[in-house]
Structure 1
């Protein structure tokens, strides 16, 4: 199977010899499988596996047979599944025969298999049976891993139902821009590991509030593309615009809505929830975003509103709470009321709401948080409500513990430590539950860009490989696949990424020296350590591939093309129109790394950190970064 990654699987010399002697569409039959035969190497591990005897062999004659499939979505998944195998198996609705892979859908099994579980049988054919299209899809992910060696799979059967209904990944594309190809690779990997939820904090380029459209945003067509990707991979999207804190990407141009302290000093990240127009403004952004995302869930953040300060610094919040709820009210009542009003707003549209937990300090004595709001618990300690208390109130709670964080330039998930300590979603920050609860939804790993210029998105992609697989294992809930973390990682590396994950050519040019031209102009050094597109320039640039899939672009004087000018967010240079420059080359400077986007035989230079492209400023030819880009041809 040319398109599948090779990995070793020991089945036994006798079984291998028997299988090799069979006709292409037949399967092996051997004696009883040894009682100690290991379960199949798949991640997350199967919840239950009953070994059989013999080996199934996939051949060119095999078909993917749809049985009881009425949903168009399942049929579309089956067509992609055929391509993920090796492209030679056609999809059929005919009668199954030995050697086929059968995808069976039976809605009557919903009670036993749930919304995502499936039954797997490997005999003279491979049969995946599920109640839903999601269950069939997850069964096909297991089959891909089973046949990830040479098209052979040990016979046996399994019933595989997840322990937790939410198995999530969070990506804060807040302030910064994370590329769409990166997101699709992430979703492919998530699907292969049966992770089903993707939270994204990102700014939609707004027509409702055009003033907020400075860089870091995504266009509406891009968001619709993300939504379509997620649907294809059976992933629920959970978009967020944080409020009432962390709103500076929107409030920068709205000083009238910024919370001002008792001295009149404005706090750009904080929305002044004492003002009625604050809710109107925020919900207008929510409505516009939900219309584009099309998701059934909205996340409003609601974290760190008083980070580095406290309510007494803002007496208008106490005054508004008193005016609305009486003399015994607290600013926390006003805060929770704001959340409840957002909840009521999204519920009218048939959506549900989620928040982070750290603002829930128990001081909202008059206004309880609505019980149907999901609380994602990431921070414990102090007066913060414990997850057990939140669960006892009957509200949905998700474990989004800080232990599951991966921060650019900061904390990285200690995957080995978590694996070796048998971490489960019962272990929160500050409290471990004695037993699970029906309203404990699952767990999520969160990716944050706190030092956005410290690492590229490709470096983050490499670092998250094992944390993703650990979280999938912990939330699906199967037996520990290896007694040691080293064994777990070795297995994960053998299985590798999802089929089709590595389809991007990250190094389209060989290392070497080139002139970078656009028509009659060429990129050249300019005054004040700048760069420009200059007519007839002969400047040469040395392009060298980096380990994380980018290039450095070095001038003949030994200086490197850089993007460090203009306004920065979280250390990332995100100002559209900021001039590019030349600086001393540094292996650690991620702003000196450039992606080459193919563009009809030419290349556009995209900065690895800002995700903005090099283009020409018409007024003077200076090279600047912007959302568009000038295609350059690389020649001798």
Structure 2
């Protein structure tokens, strides 16, 4: 950890004549671009207190959150107090009169005998505390100085498709903490929430409402807005695979499970009922409907009733694309009536429509098509940069952060066009997609997104290139580290060795298993009898993954690259839970000794007791059962 100049920073060579260079800002992500050094330093110690006016509820909340994060960072209990500050204290203030200088999210931080953080709003003061936590990652002593730190863009985010392949709540919680730590403020989640209104849609890959409530509450605490998305009218197969009556039917009478019929009143009613149900758990003032790739691999000519619908509603010059835009606009109006602002992807705006998208709809631009970002901006639409160059795809394309850094990429650089001004551009985000669901595990994705996340934080908050080289920026990011409370999910909680597995009902798994740690922190289970590995592979595949509850876990030829052979062991009261790293379903053993997988809300996960048959560390056979 470093607290001085970043490697690669320009300064006078040792022994050179002339005045000493100005002290470089201490290391943070995003970098501090307005730092005025002063003599001396601030010291955090055992007597440090967090001072916030008892009458200021916003400042008290910020101070309380900071206190919890300091405790999570191993700095003990730092009390929140009222009254005057003394040497070593941290003072948190929310002063609305500073709004002109600091805006909604900016803050002023001054380090000296005390350290003061001032925001015009609660969120601004909160971001000042994130800077403090990063400064303390380098040690207890912070160089004296002052910064006024204000973001360049309002929306700084991450998009995650947890829509087909389930992503664990623990992983998402880590993401929220790291986002806030780096001053990112928007998490788009394309996902399925288990529906009470439409139980026929509850095929696996969903989250319970309680899981989402917990994640949204964490986001609110850390000022990360969680925006839900149900992609429509394309990519609807997770929702309507069991509803052929809502599927778009082609000229040959063949229904399309991934396409909602935009002409059917029942389809619109179905989709908007999902919006209403999601509003029970998501508090965001935005709704993302996707609206991308509706005619992917096809064209409107195969669906003549769509053109007929458009002409009946908009006249003889209407196009099939108008029926699509009509659906978008009706969703816009429904969302607006619920207090939600609509967001869509850009690729459906082909220019072939005569009906415009409703004003105020945010367009997230990911693909270069006929309608350019500059045209959307000129028409008054808010535009967010979600370029393909900012994608990380499981088993596929990964954002080249080094190249983007060296190109001095910024949110004005869209796919196919760079615009001159940032006016109207809301910001940018990286996007995580599971195109090949078994291509990478969650832990591998977390590692691969470490630098992309921090680069997008840097280029949306401040300047694209705070350091002379990408290596220097990498050192900056590594110095700041992870957020307090971030959990290392790569630890194997048992010693490598060979074990019997018996569940809480006394049923024995059908082999002794050699448990070995994988490079990404999971385990492989190799049968001691056959030398083959436990894997779930049967049934219909979705994005190359078997996602049906009840599918078997079988012994297959071992392959280090096969992510379906990786398992997560989690310590729980009485033993361990065993979950597949990709499907995120828990392993059970049936009465007749077969192993199968189920989601936790369909069958409570089995609790496994591990009996040590042969332990690598001790090289000794032991008898009986052990909690290990």
TM-score, normalising length: structure 2: 0.92
- Which deviations, in whole Å up to 9, do the C-alpha atoms of 1:473-512 show, x marking residues without a partner? 0000147331110111122112211122135573110111
> In 2, distance between residues paired with 1:135 and 1:549?
37
Cross-structure match for 1:257: 246
Alignment check: 8 A CA contact 1:81 1:140 kept: no
CA distance in 2, matches of 1:283, 1:506: 42
Q: Which residue matches 1:196?
A: 185
Q: Which residue, out of 70, 73, 81, partners 2:57? A: 70
CA distance 1:202–1:49, change in 2 (3 Å): same
1:9 aligns with 2:32: no
Is 1:583 aligned with 2:556?
Answer: yes
Q: Distance in 2 between the 1:56 and 1:239 partners?
A: 42
Q: Paired residue for 1:610?
A: 583
Cα distance, 1:157–1:553 mapped onto 2, change above 3 Å: same
1:427-479 C-alpha deviation (Å, 9 max, x unpaired):
00000011211x21000100000000111011000000000000000000147
**Matched residue SS, 1:291:** coil
Tell me how far 1:522 sits from its aligned partner: 4.8
Give the distance between the partners of 1:502 and 1:519, measured in 2 at CA. Answer: 28
CA–CA distance in structure 1, aligned partners of residues 517 and 392 of structure 2? 26
What is the CA distance between 1:285 and its match in structure 2? 1.0
CA distance in 2, matches of 1:523, 1:605: 14
Which of 52, 55, 60 pairs up with 2:46? 60
Q: Which secondary structure state, in structure 2, belongs to the residue aligned with residue 278 of structure 1?
A: helix
Give 1:531's aligned residue: none
Q: Which SS does the other structure have where 1:39 is aligned?
A: coil
- Maintained 8 Å contact 1:65/1:93: yes
Q: How does 1:396-435 map to 2 (within 5 A)?
A: 396-435=382-421
Provide the secondary structure at the position in 2 that maps to 1:510.
coil
Q: Is contact 1:82-1:91 (8 Å) kept?
A: no
- 2: CA distance between counterparts of 1:102 and 1:213? 49
Query: Does residue 635 in structure 1 map to residue 607 in structure 2?
Result: no
| 2:494 alignment partner, one of 502, 509, 516 | 509
Matches within 5 A, 1:16-35: 34-35=20-21
C-alpha offsets along residues 63-107 of structure 1, whole Å, 9 cap, x if unaligned? 111146322633432332442451242211121112111111112
Q: Aligned equivalents of 1:494 and 1:196: distance in 2?
A: 21
| Further displaced range: 609-618 or 338-347 | 609-618
Q: CA deviation at 1:337?
A: 0.9
Equivalent of residue 299 in structure 1, options 288, 311, 317:
288
Structural RMSD (CA): 1.6
Q: How many residues align?
A: 592
Partner of 1:547: 519
State the partner residue of 1:380. 368
Q: For 1:204-228, what per-residue CA distance to the aligned partner results, in whole angstroms no more than 9, with x for missing partners?
A: 1111110000100011111111111
Aligned to 1:287: 276
**1:5-27 CA deviation, whole Å, 9 max, x = no partner?**
xx13348xxxxxxxxxxxxxxxx
- 2:69–2:484 contact (8 Å) kept in structure 1: no
1:345 aligns with 2:334: yes
Query: Paired residue for 2:170?
Result: 181
8 A Cα contact 1:46 1:478, kept in partner:
no
Q: For structure 2, which runs of at least 5 residues remain unmatched after alignment?
A: 6-18, 613-628
Map Cα deviations across residues 191-212 of structure 1 (whole Å, 9 max, x no partner): 1100000000000111111000
Asked if the contact 1:303/1:358 (under 8 Å) is kept, the reply is yes
Q: Return structure 1 stretches of 4+ with deviation > 2 angstroms.
A: 8-11, 33-36, 67-76, 478-481, 502-506, 519-525
Task: Give the gaps of 5 or more residues in structure 1.
Answer: 1-6, 12-32, 526-538
